[in-house]
Structure 1
Amino acid sequence: MRIIKPCTYTVLGLALASVTQMTMAQDAHHSMLMSAQHESHSSHDSSHQEIQTAIESSQIEHTAEHAEHAEHAEHAEHAEHANASSIASRAASAQHPVDHKREHGGQIYQATEIDSRWLNNADGRGSLKTEIESRIGTDENKLFIKLHADKAESQDADYAAQVMYSRMISDFWDAQIGARYRVDEHQVTDKEQLDAAVGLHGLAPYFFETDAYLYFGTDNQVSFSLETERDLLLTQKLILKPYLNLDVVLSDDSAYAQKTGLSSVWLGLETRYEINKKLMPFIDVAYSYEKGNQHTARQAETGSEKQWWYGVGLRLKF
């Protein structure tokens, strides 16, 4: 019995040791399996995530590429539409050039002004002066027609008619060329004269409306005339207008020659009241100077005259 017990204990110890080793081996194997499975799951998850990321990146790139293509298509469509509009506009302009000109001041307009005044001098001698000016055309090309009549009291009237073609040469000036026909009833012969005329019409500095002409006639008649005026507004309807009219004789070999040099000057001040833009009565005060005529076979020499004039007038515009 004593021998059996130690043997029994020994066998039991060996058995327990063997069971313990087997259990430990199984635990280690199970741990290894779990670790491998976890690594496999981790690798699978990582691969799935990479695949998902690649898919999303591909979708983003595809979306960006689609948006870029759409943007290019939109730009191309817009450019095509702009080109089509431009071509249509050019075609419309080619088909309707008159309308295009009308948008840029090419329309034809007409204006007429009638100025009539009755003036008296210090001696009580009266004079009726009438001027009519009509213009028709565009901003660039116009036709001016001017009529002038001067009737001194108890004397025959003098007439002048002037037709001028006017061409715009700058923002404020027109160059003009034409002819003047005049009748002087004071002369016994050569009552009618025809002169060539060139000149300028426009707005001088400080808003002086100006007409300057050179006249060339028979018998070496060359003269220069200047008319300039400016409106000074006291109110919207009451207006002062200083004016200057002068004539210079450069040469004259006719039978009724005038003295060369400054031939006549009218310096005046007009005060008008504009009832409206078509009807404007006014009063006028002026100072005049006349140099006189040369001595020729048909006329005696006359001296210069200086005198004041005053009177009333009426201006019509339509």
Structure 2
Amino acid sequence: MKYLIAILLVGAASPAFAQHQGHSTSGRETESPSTQEQNACEAEAERHRAMGHAVPEGSCAPSEQQSDDHSGTDHSQMDHSTMDHSTMEHSSMDHSSMGQEPGPNGQATGEQVDHSTMAHDDMAMEIPSGPPPASAGSGPAKAADAYWGAEAMDEARERLRHEQGGQQYFWFQGDRLEYRAHEDADGYLFDLQVYYGGDLDKFWFKSEGEGSFGEEIEGAEVQALYSRAIAPFFDFQAGIRQDFAPMDRTYAVVGIQGLAPYLFEIDAAAFLSDQGDLTARVEAELDQRITQRLVVQPRVEASFSAQDVPELGIGAGLDSIEAGVRLRYHFAREFAPYIGIDQEWRIGQSADYARAEGEDPNVTNYVIGVRFWF
């Protein structure tokens, strides 16, 4: 009886054994869908680990229920387009270790990953660094004419030239407007410059004068000049100068004005009077910034004459030198009061003329003034 029961049990188990053996054999030839999904999951997990994402080991292992419930399911036939990912729970994801090297157990070690060595070929965009290709300039010079018409584009180009270099400017500067204290009598000085025009051509107006309080003005002049740019930082100037003191006299003027190397502001001019007197004057200034608002300015002026002009107290050769330094503070870029000291020397025959008039040929002035422009 025992033997009969054993034979029946073996016979009943044989079909199931054969079926499972068949599944095992076919698994070696063709992977089941669940195995394919697990392999894909492992590959995705490795990719995330390489990017620095923490992926626990075993996260792709199927549970017993999944193995039982999905062993016969063909996921390739499932429609994933209707899945709602907005309801997925992302709050439990650990982003704090992103960018860190994962350890052997999949946890972040704190070591930063060098993303420069990661393959971003699909996302990288090559930025051109060389010159543009020759074809970039091979089109017609005025291609827009074909779309908008030559007349409309000529007007647009003319407006562009006007707006990008053809503007007219007005500029007014009181370079020196100062009170001068010295031994004999306190005095004053003004030095004004105005221009109107564009980048190349300007009308330039200059006026200088000085004197002592309670006395007649010692000297006053006005210059009206045409100015033409001859270099990026220099203008050629020509025009007329009119003196009102110490006597009326008219001069033809030729000169240059601009910014020399090392930021020296230069104003040099030659004057030919209606009496045939030839004189010249050179001025140089240099702004040295102590701070953005505090500026010290050394200044030198020298006058020359080709001949003696006794009625004006001018001797031939080097006539006079004036040197000084001013310290100014810019409350605004357009407004800067200053203090300073200025020394005047009459040279040679000019010194003799000054002594004959009872004047000191060497004068020290302590100055306080303001510099402004708009």
Q: Give the TM-score taking structure 1 as reference length.
A: 0.66
2:242 and 2:293 map into 1 onto residues whose CA distance is 36
> What's the offset of the Cα at 1:124?
5.1
What is the aligned partner in structure 1 of residue 205 from structure 2? 145
1:134 pairs with 177, 194, 199, which one? 194
Amino acid at match of 1:208: F
CA contact (8 A) 2:337 2:369 kept: yes
TM-aligned CA deviation for residue 151 of structure 1:
1.6
Runs of 4 or more consecutive aligned structure 1 residues displaced over 6 Å after TM superposition: 79-83, 301-304
Deviates most, 244-253 or 219-228: 244-253
C-alpha deviation, 1:245, in angstroms? 1.1
Q: Which residue does 1:116 correspond to in 2?
A: 177
For 2:295, the equivalent position in structure 1 comes to: 239
- Conserved 8 A contact 2:178-2:190: yes
- After the TM superposition, which residues 82-121 of structure 1 pair with which residues of structure 2 at under 5 Å, given as runs? 84-87=143-146, 88=148, 91-96=151-156, 98-114=158-174, 115-121=176-182
In structure 2, what is the equivalent of residue 40 of structure 1?
none
Q: Are positions 1:306 and 2:349 aligned together? A: no
Which of 206, 209, 221 aligns to 1:160? It is: 221
For the 8 Å contact 2:320–2:350, the answer to whether it is kept is: no
Q: Distance in 2 between matches of 1:80 and 1:226?
A: 53
Tell me the residue number matched to 2:265. Answer: 209
For the pair 1:177 / 2:177, whether they are aligned, the reply is: no
Secondary structure of 1:206's match? helix
The residue type paired with residue 147 of structure 1 is S
Query: 8 Å contact 1:93–1:100 — kept in the other structure?
Result: no
- 225 and 90 in structure 1: CA distance in 2 versus 1, 3 angstrom threshold: farther
1:7 corresponding residue in structure 2: none
In the alignment, structure 1 residue 226 sits paired with structure 2 residue 287: no
Query: How has the CA–CA distance of structure 1 residues 257 and 270 changed in structure 2, closer, same or farther, with 3 Å as cutoff?
Result: closer
Deviation at 1:256, TM superposition (A): 3.8
Counterpart residue type for residue 155 of structure 2: Q
CA distance, structure 2, for counterparts of residue 264 and residue 168 of structure 1: 30
Cross-structure match for 2:371? 315
Report Cα offsets for 1:154-194 as digits up to 9, x if no partner: 32112110011000011111100001000124xxxxx2000
Aligned-partner Cα distance in 2 for 1:306–1:97: 60
Identity of aligned residues (%): 24
Instruction: Letter of the 1:153 partner, please give it.
Output: F
CA distance in structure 1 between the partners assigned to 2:169 and 2:305 by the alignment: 35
| Gap runs ≥5 in structure 2 | 1-137
Deviations 1:243-268 (A, max 9, x none): 11111112245644511111111111
Higher relative contact order (CA 8 A, sep 6+): 1
TM-score using structure 2 length:
0.57
For the residue of structure 1 that corresponds to 2:292, the secondary structure is coil
The 1:301/1:295 distance shift into structure 2, 3 A limit, reads: farther
CA distance in 1: counterparts of 2:262 and 2:152, whole angstroms: 43
- Summarize the alignment of residues 11-50 of structure 1 with structure 2, pairs less than 5 Å apart: none
How far 1:103 sits from its partner (Å)?
3.9
Structure index of larger Rg:
1
Per-residue displacement from partner, 1:29-63 (whole Å, max 9, x unpaired)? xxxxxxxxxxxxxxxxxxxxxxxxxxxxxxxxxxx
Of the structure 1 ranges 147-156 and 199-208, higher mean CA displacement relative to structure 2 is found in 147-156
Query: The residue matched to 1:142 in structure 2 has which SS?
Result: strand
Instruction: State how far apart, in whole Å, the 1-side matches of 2:141 and 2:193 are.
Output: 49
| Aligned pairs, number | 232
SS in 2 for 1:251: coil
Distance of aligned partners of 1:161 and 1:81 in 2 relative to their CA distance in 1, 3 Å threshold: closer
Structure 1 residues 308 and 84, CA, compared in 2 at 3 Å: closer, same or farther? closer
- 1: distance between equivalents of 2:142 and 2:372? 53
Query: Partner of 1:266 in structure 2?
Result: 322
User: Which piece of structure 1 moves more, 307-316 or 207-216?
Assistant: 307-316
Query: 1:82 and 1:216 mapped to 2: Cα distance?
Result: 50
Relative to structure 1, is the Cα distance of residues 103 and 159 closer, same or farther in structure 2, using a 3 angstrom cutoff? same
User: Does the aligned pair in 1 maintain the 2:144–2:153 contact within 8 Å?
Assistant: no
Aligned-partner Cα distance in 1 for 2:346–2:149: 62
1:95 partner SS = helix
1:243-262 matches, within 5 Å, as 243-253=299-309, 255-256=311-312, 258-262=314-318
Q: What amino acid maps onto 1:231 in structure 2?
A: D
CA distance in 2, matches of 1:126, 1:93: 63
Distance in 1 (alpha carbons) for counterparts of 2:221 and 2:142: 59
Q: 1:229/1:256 Cα in 2 relative to 1: closer, same or farther (>3 Å)?
A: closer
Quote the Cα distance in structure 1 between the aligned partners of 2:164 and 2:294. Answer: 34
